[in-house]
Amino acid sequence: MKTEKDTKGKTEAAALLRLKAQELGRMPKKSDFLDNEINMVKSCLGPWPRALEEAGLKEVSEGRIARLKNREEKHIRAKVRRRVAKTDKNAGPDRPAR
């Protein structure tokens, strides 16, 4: 469950990245920030490439989109398998399996 503090931290971290990009006129690198700023950005937004994506500075690659889609599909298939296994487990001598 996301709290207001989590949302505020993400907003501030993304704003910091966008501001630095505007100052530099290019996509910011980790070396453009102080250590505490890097830690804040990464703790709020995740790994550096994901943080840049979250801030709207970098497009999400096609490969990443495909991996996320495959992950979601795998999750759904596993969920269906668990439901089927649970239904089959509940089948007894007087109840046939599915």
Whether pTM > 0.75 for this model: the answer is no
| 59 pLDDT higher than 60 | yes
**Distance set, CA 12 to CA 9, 37, 42 (Å):** 5, 11, 12
pLDDT band at 89 (very low <50, low <70, confident <90, very high): confident
Q: What was the pLDDT predicted at 13?
A: 94
Tens digit of each residue's pLDDT (9 = 90 or more) over 40-49: 999 999 999 9
